[in-house]
Structure 1
Amino acid sequence: MTRTHLLLIEVPEILHLLLRPALGVRHEVRTHHGAMSWAKRCARRSPRATFSFTGSPEDPDPLTRLDQTGRETWNLLTTTQAGRYVQLSSPRTFCSYDPELDR
C-alpha cells in the first residue's frame, strides 16, 4: 500500500494535536511552520506532498493575511504533487464586519 504524503502548514496547535496522530497512522505526515509564500521554499520543503492542509496566518492586517494565503495556495498548487488541498479558516474573519451587514 502506498502511503499518502500529507503536509500540515501553519495548522493551529489544537488541530495539529488532533490531526497529526490520527493521520500519521496510515499516512506520512510532515509539518511546516512559517510562511510558504516563496515558491523556492515551498518546492524545497514539500515536493512529495499529495495532500495539503493549510491554516490561515495570524497577521492582524486582513490584506496581508489575504496576500500570504493567496501566495501560499498558489505555491502549493504549482510546486507540489498535491492533488487535494484543504484551506482551514475561522469565522473570526467576519468579527470585524457590521452585525447588520446581512440585513
Structure 2
Amino acid sequence: MLYNYFVYIIANEYRTTLYIGVTNNIQKRLSQHYFDSQNAKLSFAGKYNCYYLVYYEGFEDSKSAIYREKILKKWSRAKKNKLISDFSPKWETLNHQVV
C-alpha cells in the first residue's frame, strides 16, 4: 500500500524528549528537523535536538493522519512509550528505514 501521509515520533539522542508530527514527505521533514537541531534551535524539535525517528505510521489521506496525530499528542508519556516499544523494542533510530 502506498502512503501519502505519515504521523511520526522523533526523539532526542537519549530518548527523553519526544516530538509528534505529520507530513506528506517524511524524509524531507526529518532533514528539516536535523537542520533545525544543528542550526536554528527556534523550533521545539530544534531546541531539544529531536531528529531521531523512533515511530511512524502511514496514511492514505491527510485527514486521517492529522486525526491520529491529535490523538497521540493527548496520550500520556507512558502510553507513547508503550506504542514506540511495541513498534521498535530497542527504540532504534529508523531515519533510513522510511522511503
The TM tier, using the shorter chain, reads 0.3 to 0.5
When Rg is computed on C-alpha atoms for both structures, the one with the higher figure is 1
Normalising by structure 2, we get a TM-score of: 0.34
Normalising by structure 1, we get a TM-score of: 0.33
